[in-house]
Amino acid sequence: MDTSSPVVASAITLLRRDLYEHLDEVEFLALKYDSWSDVDIKTARAAIPDLVTVIRGVLVLHEAEDDGGKCRTCGEIWPCAALSTIHRLVKDPDREFVKILDRARGYE
């Protein structure tokens, strides 16, 4: 695909905007209530594995090539920026991914 084409560049911009708006709307809906109903809680519990699936999907794309030197998608020296960003966010002790594991392991 010729990404230098103005038509393709516009399509990429629209796709990116659509994804960001989709995520913004989901985040807004998750945060807008002071208290959650049973349905809200059930939905949140279902959303967590969905989010993990999304992260795994991105991680798979950014695995190292067989020789371990470069990302098979980016071509950057591994770990690439995408994988490093995911690692930083998923391992951030102030975020829930770490807190939920700490609670399960009895560290909290």
The yes or no reply on residue 74 touching Zn ion (CB under 5 A) is: yes
| Residue carrying the six token digits 């030197």 | 69
The yes or no reply on residue 64 touching Zn ion (CB under 5 A) is: no
**Residue 82 Cβ vs Zn ion, minimum distance, rounded to whole Å:** 4
The yes or no reply on residue 86 touching Zn ion (CB under 5 A) is: no
Q: Which stretch binds Zn ion (CB under 5 A): 2-10, 20-28, 36-44, 77-85?
A: 77-85
Residue 64 makes CB contacts below 8 A (sequence gap 6+) with 70, 71, 72, 78, 79
Of 59, 63, 73, 98, the residue at the interface with Zn ion (CB under 5 A) is: 73
Distances (CA, A) of 42 to 20, 48, 54, 103: 24, 10, 19, 20
Query: Which tokens belong to 44?
Result: 């949140």
In the beta sheet, which residues pair with residue 77? 70
Contact 72, 65 (CB under 8 A): yes
Of 82, 86, 98, 99, the residue at the interface with Zn ion (CB under 5 A) is: 82
One character per residue 24-63, x = contact with Zn ion (rule: CB under 5 A)? --------------------------------------x-
Contact 55, 85 (CB under 8 A): no
* Interacting residue ranges for Zn ion, rule: CB under 5 A: 62, 71, 73-74, 80, 82
